[in-house]
Structure 1
Amino acid sequence: MPHPEPARSREQRKQGVLVRLEKDTDAWVSTASADGAPTLVPLWFVWDGEALLMATRRTNPTAVNLTPAGRAHIALGHTRDVVMIEATAEVVEGTDLPTAAGDAFAAKFSWDLRGRPGWVYLRFTPHAIRAWRESNEQPDRDLMTDGRWLV
């Protein structure tokens, strides 16, 4: 099947990823329990230039799964314009969240959880990012490895 558009360069894809991180509001977050049971949930996020900040109840499987290993996969976009992120995560109490991060989350979503019992923030730091649209962008889809941009 012919590709509708030529493949974007890695530089163009990185710029597309940065726009998504800045402008998108939702991401799919995948984690696994200690015994391997997967969980996939949509969460709102704010990008601070280094990490994605999300929030959930402390008792939700996503937060529970992050406690021992701190690993997650995050997906942005749809199947024909996808950004896949492998990240390490930390659970942050609202009282421990830097003011600027909490303010950014509250401003973007009109929802401030910093003083709300039972809720925590999740800070995901990417260590690998891949982006592609069609099969012609499969080569060179790696844009970040080991936490460093390749372009």
Structure 2
Amino acid sequence: MTHREPARGRAQRKQDVLEHLEKDTEAWVSTASADGVPTLVPLSFVWDRETLLMATRRTNPTAVNVTPAGQARIALGTTRDVVLIEATAELIEGADLPAGSGDAFAAKLGWDLRGRSAWVYLRFTPYAVRAWREENELAGRELMTDGRWLE
């Protein structure tokens, strides 16, 4: 396989991941029900307080799955610029959001769900992050383990 660019170092990969988190607005979120049925959905997000803040209807499988399992996998980027995040998940009512988080969500995404009882926020706290572009970056793709950046 021919590589278009040289492999990035860990510091550059972390910087690129943080840029994705600041600038991107959508991610693929994977959760599983208590009996193991997977769900994969696209959700809008804002990077807030070193967590990903998303929202969905409280009856959607993703919100329901967060309660028993408390875990999710999140994917950003493309197949040639992959960011995979493993995260703990928690469901937060709009009234319980920390000061500024609802404002950050509304400002970035253009919609404010606080006060809408059919919707809940989901806060995902990363504990593992991997990133790579092509085969030459598979080695060293781990950027975060146990909730700590390696760089």
Structure 1 position 49, deviation (Å): 4.0
Q: CA RMSD in A?
A: 0.6
Q: Distance in 1 between matches of 2:68 and 2:33?
A: 9
Structure 1 position 99, deviation (Å): 2.7
SS of corresponding position for 1:72: strand
Partner deviation per Cα, 1:83-104 (whole Å, 9 max, x = no partner)? 0000001000011112300000
Q: Distance in 1 between matches of 2:49 and 2:132?
A: 21
Name the structure 1 match of 2:36.
Answer: 36
**Please, what TM-score do these two structures have when normalized by structure 1?**
0.98
Aligned residue type for 2:66: L
SS of corresponding position for 1:42: strand
Aligned residue type for 1:88: T
Q: Distance in 1 between matches of 2:4 and 2:49?
A: 32
SS of corresponding position for 2:100: helix
Partner deviation per Cα, 1:29-56 (whole Å, 9 max, x = no partner)? 0000011110000000000141000000
Name the structure 1 match of 2:105.
Answer: 105
Unpaired segments of 5 or more residues in structure 2?
Answer: none
Q: How does 1:130-149 map to 2 (within 5 A)?
A: 130-149=130-149
Name the structure 1 match of 2:66.
Answer: 66
**Please, what TM-score do these two structures have when normalized by structure 2?**
0.98
Unpaired segments of 5 or more residues in structure 1?
Answer: none
Name the structure 1 match of 2:24.
Answer: 24
Q: Distance in 2 between matches of 1:11 and 1:23?
A: 18
For these two proteins, the number of residue pairs brought into alignment is 151
